[in-house]
């Protein structure tokens, strides 16, 4: 695979917080991210983690203990994907991690799964992100159809994974994640 392309990825770690996310969302993934790859020189990961929204290289991402669960090549117009990347970086880089939103997500999931009650997240924070909210923001900015019905304040990595099979025109699962570049 040559040239520039974008990937929606899902990963997990085995610390307590990640295990709780996987338990509450019934998922193999506790984290999601967007990658920008351009030949052998560029392989950036845009993600929201405890320190906040940041950009790192894939090699650093993997060195911090992430296990890739699945990755999907985003099949859309490259100029559209580039604009979405620039917009997402410009508007989201440096935002804090939304710990309160995670608490609200747990509340929403408990109400929905255990009691059949649908509620909005009472602790949504528009000035902070979690990983799945950031990935959704990118997908919406890229105008990828199918994600517009998801609530940014309650979306989980599993929610994003659940939409992908209905969009084979837009996503190609990478059988083996491409080798990591520095």
Confidence at 137, pLDDT banded by 50, 70, 90: very high
CATH of the domain at 119: 3.90.1720.10
Tell me how far apart the alpha carbons of residues 162 and 159 are, in angstroms, rounded to a whole number.
5
**Residue 175, domain member (yes or no):** no
Tell me which range, 22-36, 91-105, 123-137, 144-158, is most confidently predicted by mean pLDDT: 144-158
Model pTM score: 0.85
**Residue 182, domain member (yes or no):** no
**Residue 8, domain member (yes or no):** yes
Are the C-beta atoms of residues 53 and 67 closer than 8 Å to each other?
A: no
**Residue 181, domain member (yes or no):** no
| Other residues' Cβ atoms within 10 Å of the Cβ of residue 152 | 18
**Residue 177, domain member (yes or no):** no
Tell me how far apart the alpha carbons of residues 98 and 130 are, in angstroms, rounded to a whole number.
6
Domains of the chain: total: 1
Domain range for 135: 4-169
């Amino acid at each position: 695979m040559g040239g520039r392309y974008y990937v929606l990825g899902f990963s997990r770690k085995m610390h307590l917080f990640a295990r709780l996310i996987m338990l509450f969302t019934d998922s193999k993934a506790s984290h999601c991210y967007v990658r920008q790859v351009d030949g052998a020189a560029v392989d950036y990961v845009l993600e929201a983690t405890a320190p906040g929204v940041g950009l790192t290289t894939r090699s650093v991402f993997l060195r911090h203990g992430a296990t890739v669960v699945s990755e999907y090549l985003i099949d859309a117009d490259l100029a559209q994907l580039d604009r979405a990347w620039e917009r997402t970086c410009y508007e989201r880089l440096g935002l804090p991690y939304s710990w309160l939103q995670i608490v609200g997500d747990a509340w929403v999931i408990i109400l929905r799964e255990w009691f059949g009650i649908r509620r909005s997240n009472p602790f949504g924070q528009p000035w902070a992100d979690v990983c799945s909210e950031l990935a959704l923001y990118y997908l919406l900015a890229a105008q990828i159809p199918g994600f517009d019905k998801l609530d940014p304040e309650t979306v989980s990595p599993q929610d994003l994974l659940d939409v992908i099979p209905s969009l084979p025109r837009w996503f190609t699962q990478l059988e083996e994640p491409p080798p990591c570049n520095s």
